[in-house]
Structure 1
Amino acid sequence: MRSIWNGSISFGLVSIPIKMYSGSEERKLDLDMLDRKDHGRIRYKRVNEITGEEVEWKDIVKGYLKDDAYIVLEDEDFEKANMKKSKTIDIEEFIKEEDVPDVLFKKPYFLEPQKGGEKSYNLLKKALLETDKLGVATFVMRAKENLSLVGVYKDALVLHVIRFADEMRDPAELKLPDAKVSKKEVDMAKSLIEQYTEKFDFEKYKDIYNEQLIKIIESKTSGKKPKVEKFDSKPTPAKDLMAQLKASLEKKKKKSKAS
């Protein structure tokens, strides 16, 4: 793996030199955009709006529009905005994991100690494990401030970038139903949830969509018509809710007996 950010992580007066690595990766087919007529690849060009000419990456800078004129920002300007946050993941407080809504989580990153930080790295890791807490930290990466949580995953410190409160939209704007459900229906649904409750093992969940897409590509390559499973999802009518819940429970019970 190649590190994407180097600096330090600190809590109190303890500073740990670290390297940061992406903890996840996208799994999708590399598809090109083509012209339907002749299958020529579609290219994106960086074009100057004034001259109409293409511009090389080395000649591109970032600018902020103010009073009808651009203020150009160089790489060092982004670091000058907050030198500490550009170099340090500063843990400001510790919280319980259950206090963080799941919708705030965005992306995980692994942290690895640099030379001289091995003992303090293990100290923070052990303390987090034994207190069952997460560290709340902020830092700057790629000219953007990030709010994050520091915890432990498989013997490594992991940093979860989470959303700021003002990045979340208000669900009050949604048209949510006020349909009433009976206690009997709720109890039946709770029983169904209990029947399907297992210890989470994310290794058993696989991304099968790409595999199925490759099969379609192979079928089209050989000139065969790909087999498509028909699927029609219909909402369960309110009057059939109890019957469907009961049928779901029976189905799960039969499956459990068979296994």
Structure 2
Amino acid sequence: MSFRQTHLAVGGRIRNRKVCEVDGQELRQDEIGRGYETATGTLVEITDADLDNMPLPTAKAIEIVAFVPADSIDPIQIGASYYLAADGVGAKPYELLRQALQRSSKVAVAKFAMRDRERLGLLRVMDKGSSCGLRWPDEIRATDQVPVPDTTVTVTVTDAEVDAAVVLAETLSGLDMSELRDEYRAALEQVVAAKAGGERPAAAQPAEPASAEVVDLMAMLEKSVADA
């Protein structure tokens, strides 16, 4: 349930109209762009292409930061909840993560970009999907209302792969929340600085096309454990 703002004197509804400060014209949404105001008051135009091309690992993927016990996360940090699902090439890594979290009784701290900013998320197993955050009971949708692909049917994950993922989860169990940084903001500041100086922002490196045939999960897991 939500409320509307009204004029107390006459009961009329109050609407937010978007008006240009230069010519006083009321604008439609498709006529409105975005800009970043610098310390000198200059507005630097930032386009969708600028945001899409930022060299940021989390721009088009979810980066797992660490695996931690669920009770180690302070509930005050938990915000909006989302359902996470995957199919195609991402189905097997998703199912592997789901089973590893389930077997290790841990949750995963992750970073991802959404709505023009990098966010910190909490992944936990919930039926066949994963979610993050807490809400009032009447705000939580039942999982049968969400079209989550059944990865247990579409992909096969071996015990060896799950065991390797659990080892990785144990390896990445140490996490100092104070050390986490918003890399999206840092990348956006670089874009603004470049455009304000009349330069072309650094472009993101094109991602190599992935296919189900070339994804070697065991090799990736072993390398991740070694790097950790």
Partner of 2:54: 81
Tell me if 1:133 matches 2:124.
no
Quick one: distance in 2 between partners of 1:140 and 1:68? 27
Q: Which runs of structure 2 are paired with 1:176-195 in the superposition (5 Å)?
A: none
Equivalences for 1:7-26 in 2 at 5 Å? none
Measured in 2, the distance between the counterparts of 1:42 and 1:106 equals 29
Q: Assess, with a 3 A threshold, how the Cα gap between structure 1 residues 94 and 75 changes in structure 2: closer, same or farther.
A: same
Partner of 1:127, secondary structure, is helix
Name 1:40's counterpart in structure 2: 12
Look up the SS of the partner of 1:76 in the other structure: helix
> Equivalent residue of 2:62, what SS?
strand
- 1:62 aligned residue: 34
In structure 2, runs of 5+ residues without a counterpart are 140-228
Once residues 38 and 68 of structure 1 are traced to their aligned partners in structure 2, the CA distance between those partners, rounded to angstroms, is: 39
SS of the residue 1:58 aligns to: helix
Q: Taking structure 1 as reference, are residues 96 and 42 closer, same or farther at Cα in structure 2, changes over 3 Å only?
A: same
2:103 aligned with 1:144 = no
| Counterpart position of 1:22 | none
2: CA distance between counterparts of 1:152 and 1:138? 17
The percentage of counterpart residues that share the same residue type is 26
Shift of the 93–206 alpha-carbon distance from structure 1 to 2, 3 Å rule, reads closer
Q: CA deviation at 1:160?
A: 4.0
Tell me which amino acid in the other structure corresponds to 1:60: I
Counterpart residue number, 2:97: 124
Alpha-carbon spacing, 1:206–1:139, altered in 2? closer, same or farther (3 Å): closer
What is residue 157 of structure 2 aligned with on the other side? none
How far off its partner does 1:88 sit? 0.4
Opposite residue 77 of structure 1, the aligned amino acid is D
SS at match of 2:63: strand
Amino acid in structure 1 at the alignment position of 2:99: K
- Give how far 1:44 is off: 1.4
1:49 equivalent in alignment to 2:3: no
Compute the TM-score of the two structures, normalised by the length of structure 2. Answer: 0.54
Partner residue, 1:112 = 85
Aligned residues: 138
Q: Distance in 1 between matches of 2:8 and 2:103?
A: 59
Question: Offset of 1:90 from its aligned partner?
Answer: 0.9
Residue 41 (structure 1) shift: 2.3
C-alpha distance in structure 2 between counterparts of 1:206 and 1:148, whole Å:
22
SS at match of 1:87: coil
Q: Which has the larger radius of gyration?
A: 1
**Bigger share in strand:** 1
The whole-number CA distance in structure 1 between the counterparts of 2:67 and 2:94 is: 16
Q: Which residue of 2 aligns with 1:226?
A: none
1:155 pairs with 2:128: yes
- Indicate the RMSD between aligned Cα atoms, in angstroms: 2.6
Instruction: Write the distance in 1 (CA, Å) between the matches of 2:44 and 2:58.
Output: 23
Where relative contact order (Cα < 8 A, 6+ residues apart) is larger, the structure is 2
